[in-house]
């Protein structure tokens, strides 16, 4: 097996969800889950079909994000993987709906960070082995950092 990494190409402020599913129906069901979760959410998604014609299937409501999803899905090239890019919404607002799609097996990451996908290549095809999501910790939070974290969550409305 050959192991490589594929860097997800995206603007720094764009969120993504990377996962694995098991059926061509994924594209339509993820579309419905995303469009029904957050009014005004802009997104593009792509799914790597693992049998038959083995195409990158796609859907979305934002041409730029659809193109980005198709490009990154092709670069990853792992069967039954999917990637969705989000604008005007965050993974925290859609992740439960995505996880409830019957075809979804797992979520590798949901983030706005820089992402590298660790890919294994065999004679049969490619698989996602894991992800590098962002950077490694530089230390342990202090009392000031804790106060800043709590204030940020309240400012965003996630905590009272």
pLDDT given at position 43: 98
pLDDT given at position 113: 97
Phi, psi of 134 (to 5 degrees): 80, -145
pLDDT given at position 156: 85
Q: What is the pTM of this model?
A: 0.93
Nearest Cα residue to 111 out of 10, 16, 8, 13: 16
> How confident is the prediction along the chain (160 residues), in pLDDT tens digits per residue?
999 999 999 999 999 999 999 998 999 999 999 999 999 999 999 999 999 999 999 999 999 999 999 999 999 999 999 999 999 999 999 999 999 999 999 999 999 999 999 999 999 999 999 999 999 999 999 999 999 999 999 998 888 8
| Beta pairing partners, 15 | 86
User: How does 73-87 read in b/e, with b if 16+ C-beta sit within 10 Å?
Assistant: beebbbbbbbbbbbb
Q: Where are the domains of the chain?
A: 2-155
* CATH homologous superfamily of 2-155: Ta1353-like (3.40.1520.10)
pLDDT given at position 133: 97
Looking at residue 106, what DSSP letter applies? E
């Amino acid at each position: 097996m050959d192991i490589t990494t594929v860097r997800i190409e995206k603007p720094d402020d764009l969120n993504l969800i990377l996962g694995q599913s098991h059926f061509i129906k994924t594209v339509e069901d993820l579309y419905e889950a995303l469009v029904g979760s957050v009014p005004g959410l802009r997104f593009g998604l792509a799914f790597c079909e693992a049998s038959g014609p083995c195409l990158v299937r796609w859907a979305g409501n934002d041409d730029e994000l659809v193109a980005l999803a198709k490009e990154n899905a092709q670069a990853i090239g792992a069967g039954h993987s999917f990637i969705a890019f989000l604008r005007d919404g965050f993974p925290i607002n859609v992740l439960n709906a995505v996880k409830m799609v019957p075809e979804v097996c797992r979520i590798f990451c949901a983030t706005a960070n820089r992402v590298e996908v660790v890919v294994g290549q065999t004679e049969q095809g490619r698989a996602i082995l894991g992800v590098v999501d962002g950077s490694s910790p530089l230390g342990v939070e202090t009392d000031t950092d804790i106060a800043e974290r709590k204030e940020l969550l309240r400012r965003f409305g996630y905590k009272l």
